[in-house]
Structure 1
């Protein structure tokens, strides 16, 4: 198997969480900005309608003048907000790209487990003791690692497991790593999911507003309502973000 190596910096789960938290916070700021801009448009539209009510015109003429004035107002508001919106895109990209780049390190529980206790003397000792272990003995120690959450032992079992012919393995590396229920893998998986959804939310909110659709925030809510996130992880990110603001 040939693998292409990249110069992608390795980030810890905590550092990845900070990127996801940044996107989550940015998402909230974007929604507030879009809401403010939409309110500006609605206010200008209402003012135009009130002003043209005082002019002696037919309903069709009045509506045409209101629409023309509103269109001009929307153009002015969008032009004035262009730099702000562009900054949102740049900030989102600066957070999103390094976040998604971490997939090469966290795309499977096997990769995460393989790094556990790296350089730890216990892992080296376990690996030496398991060097001649057969399938039955390896199965026992694999179960012991899962039952005791011993990551150093689990990493050693994984190394020995990889050395065995596929037919002799008591379980697959992925089954074993998944059974370890690694907190780091679970958290990073959610951080990546949050990052994906928040970027989608930012792009959708801005695009919807630019297209002049009514209630861009409601449209966004409908689009993301069906998505599932681990709310405990999301809440922890928001708590961390609030803590930094205080």
Structure 2
């Protein structure tokens, strides 16, 4: 086959529509606002104290607690969704790299884990101000629903594969490693189910393994949904 035929047969991805860019922009700015409001909350109040936990560390209101906000899986997952959504909104064409789509998958899987874990285990704790309640709603309810909906409606299909799902696991694994190494040093964990002194390392490890399994299962579900959406679009 000639070079001209190869070039002629090579298809370029179409430029995103205005509606897609608007959706990605909204799906990026909303979690960005949630992350920013977390800094404001950190400046005005200390870390929450969960009843029954054995750890006694934490951070008082101020710069220490502002800088501590990325220690929360909620903050990390929303930040990754924000960045990848804004990249898609700004790019002339969707990125093709494994790195970008692995990070995109990591954000989607992580923010869905955030929504599921928070709303089944942690909901209702410490929502004592209007800003706190708004932050809670945005980061734990709205974004975990909005991110996969925008992905399904507007992200280019065929971007999830086994390699990228494996790379995406680096986000929860890194967060877990840093959190568990840092916890004994500061005598504080971002979530009560990570209380090693109370529950023991084996039990906490089991919980973390369960969360990672949930993360992997959600990405597998997105991959299957991606396949079905691709087939549906091909039929039209």
TM-score by length of 1: 0.28
Q: Which has the larger radius of gyration?
A: 1
